Structure 1
Amino acid sequence: MTVSKNTVNHTSKNGDNFQEPIQANKPEPFVSESGKPVLVFDGTLDLKRTIKILEAGKPVLIKAFYSDGLLLLRELQMHLKRKLDTTSFQDQRSFRSAYQKLSNLILIGIVDHKLAVKKAPSIGWLEKLYPENSDFLLPFPQIQGLNSAWQWYQNGITIPVLRNKVHPYYGTYFPTRFDHLILFDNWLKRYEGPKKSAIDVGVGSGILSLQMIKHGFQKVFATDNNPNSIIGLTESMADTKLSRKIELDYGSLFGKWEKQTELIVFNPPWLPETHSPDKNDEAIYYGQNLFSDFFSGAKQRLLPEGKLVIIFSNLARITKSTKEHPVEKELASGGRFQLEKCLKKTVKFASDKTKRDPEWRTTEEVELWVLTH
């Protein structure tokens, strides 16, 4: 079904409910700048010369086969690996940044919501996200992302701690590793507090909220500052029982929720922001004020006997991204919370195919922090 407008529920200052349209995050169509003609790549153009053209900042259009784009991307990756060091975690981030910049100059045309090349996949997002624009250009890596996201959305993702698959909307974070979810599920099994309500800050694809409902919570108030998350969950829950148990709000941190609750759950990004992030990176990197704002808001909304659960990791420390641990910093100097317990679980060792550095990967742990007033 084509969606031309999405609405979410909001509450006005006088308490009236109303619906407000929100726009989904999506790749922006490419507009050629004056004086920068698009060079056509049909598989016959010399690859090395094409890469030099990309490095000069000039766009290249894939015109014949979808596989031509894949070929050019592979050659670009190999070129950058020969050129750049990728030994450390920081080097890998620099490599990804360079690759992202150049690869997004490789374009593909869309005509009537279909890719205008031969042997291309069918991607439903092109109609769903661009109902009023049937002919345009997109960077090839964005097409790859849309294609993968459509497969996940259509086929669903199996999550070990849930009974049913989740169907993540485009641009919505979902986990590819599950150690932290298992840690949270085990904690929920032992939780003996009241289960009238909870707040899930940064709901993403809804997994933590679904876990809490599974373990008997009557109501979960869930927020996210990513419109795609709210649009996707609103669509997937529709008129089911879940839509009455999980109430959504599009907003930062706690959004419109002001009432106190017995449980607040937060699975924040695990790495500090080092540059202005892409919209799709906001679930991965945290900004300078995120945790101080979160703890301040949580203090106001947690009932006197309530619990604050933060799901985190030692990833930033072992990759030397920062020496500072935001939860430890709050406990040491915030004066708002005290530690009840901290549970840790070693992350399963990655496969040989992983691109992560095994030297630090073997010491990675996920953490579940339980704080009280």
Structure 2
Amino acid sequence: MSTAIQVQKPMPSTINDQITLFDRDTEKNPTIRILEAGKKVLISSFYSDGLLLLRTIKKHLFRTMPNETFREQREFRTAYQKLSNLVIIEIIDHNLAVKKAPSIGWLKKLYPDTADFFLTFPQVQGLNSSWQWFENGIKIPALRNKIHPYYGTYFPTRFEHLDLFDNWLKRYDGPKKTAIDVGIGSGILSFQLVQHGFQKVFGTDTNPNAIVGLKESMGTTKLSRKIALDHASLFGKFDKQTELIVFNPPWLPQSQNLDKIDEAIYYNDQLFPDFFAAAKQQLLPDGKLVIIFSNLAQITKTATQHPIEQELLSGGRFKLERCFKKRVKAASEKTDRDQHWRAEEEVELWILIEA
């Protein structure tokens, strides 16, 4: 682990002597009332008991809350997070202290100096899933090799926007000396750039886990010589002008305080104005600004203005060269959310040049 950058990790939970124990034989309705009163519940026997209690919470909320519109689903998730994060589990010697629990390497990797502590059950679920992704890797259609996303680093689960970018790169005939990837995340866009012949890519991210994870996964490979990293916002320490700037910003406006992984999904009011102002200074006169976006905020009515369209109308810095759009695939039948708006969702690839 990098000593210069401190990774973000779940904060251990505190408990008191009045903790309520839960296993599969415990009465469920009284347990729900305990959680609604803001008191914590400890999973005490099997790992599957925690899964059972989370399903019980979800069923309870389905009975008591609407969950149809995009806004209602946000409120439902907030309520679920509030209750589920009162369900905790004990870690002893970097192992979950319940029967038939998964082995999670993050417990030792992220907490080398703390062997015994408590985490919420959703935090443990997140650590478990993330460990499997990190260990086994994730296949991305546009890349030759799997990615191994570090804990707390966003990675896409749909790929239409990556297909758009890959198709554009195949036709790109401009210089390929340098490019800057703002908000590099799990590194996919940078890997695509290198795969298509860019000599050097500079990547920044405000999420320390993204930078630490990429440094670790690239190691001393050829990629580590092709991709330079900086834990910083926007363009960080990379002050030289470049022929290509790539930006895959969050697609939804912020509605609450965010942690670092949520910053990959929700944008605040200043992100786009600050980005366009900085990009104006960073881009070479004949360079291109490539922004990957979506109409998700418009079709779910969480935003009234499209930030890229707004910049083109009033910013005076850039003009549109091309905009490519692609419909997304229908939502999985396995999801329990009503995502009817997906029929209208399009991903967008905006190519801007100097005005």
Question: TM-score with structure 2 length normalisation?
Answer: 0.98
**Which residue in 2 is equivalent to 1:10?**
none
Cα offsets for 1:84-120 (capped at 9, x unmatched): 0001010000000000011000000000000000000
Shift of 1:332: 0.3
**Which residue in 1 is equivalent to 2:141?**
160
**Which residue in 2 is equivalent to 1:300?**
281
Answer whether contact 2:294 2:347 (CA < 8 A) is retained.
yes
Of 212, 225, 233, which residue of structure 2 is paired with 1:252? Answer: 233
Asked if residue 127 in structure 1 is aligned to residue 108 in structure 2, the reply is yes
Of 14, 25, 31, which residue of structure 1 is paired with 2:8? Answer: 25
**Which residue in 2 is equivalent to 1:90?**
71
Segments of 4+ moved more than 6 angstroms? none
The RMSD of aligned alpha carbons is 1.0
SS in 2 for 1:341: strand
Asked if residue 205 in structure 1 is aligned to residue 195 in structure 2, the reply is no
Of 96, 103, 112, which residue of structure 1 is paired with 2:84? Answer: 103
Of 162, 167, 177, which residue of structure 2 is paired with 1:196? Answer: 177
Answer whether contact 2:299 2:344 (CA < 8 A) is retained.
yes
Shift of 1:351: 2.6
Within 1, Cα distance between the matches of 2:87 and 2:260? 20
SS in 1 for 2:261: helix
Shift of 1:31: 1.4
Within 2, Cα distance between the matches of 1:356 and 1:54? 24
**Which residue in 2 is equivalent to 1:266?**
247
Residue ranges of structure 1 left out of the alignment (5+ in a row)? 8-20
Of 186, 200, 210, which residue of structure 1 is paired with 2:167? Answer: 186
Within 1, Cα distance between the matches of 2:48 and 2:328? 36
Within 2, Cα distance between the matches of 1:360 and 1:136? 42
* Equivalent residue pairs, number: 354
**Which residue in 1 is equivalent to 2:301?**
320
Within 2, Cα distance between the matches of 1:351 and 1:116? 34
Cα offsets for 1:115-145 (capped at 9, x unmatched): 0000000000000000000000000000000
**Which residue in 1 is equivalent to 2:31?**
50
Asked if residue 76 in structure 1 is aligned to residue 57 in structure 2, the reply is yes
Asked if residue 331 in structure 1 is aligned to residue 312 in structure 2, the reply is yes
Of 342, 360, 365, which residue of structure 1 is paired with 2:341? Answer: 360
Question: TM-score with structure 1 length normalisation?
Answer: 0.93
Shift of 1:356: 4.3
Within 2, Cα distance between the matches of 1:29 and 1:288? 32
Of 179, 200, 207, which residue of structure 2 is paired with 1:226? Answer: 207
Residue ranges of structure 2 left out of the alignment (5+ in a row)? none
**Which residue in 1 is equivalent to 2:262?**
281
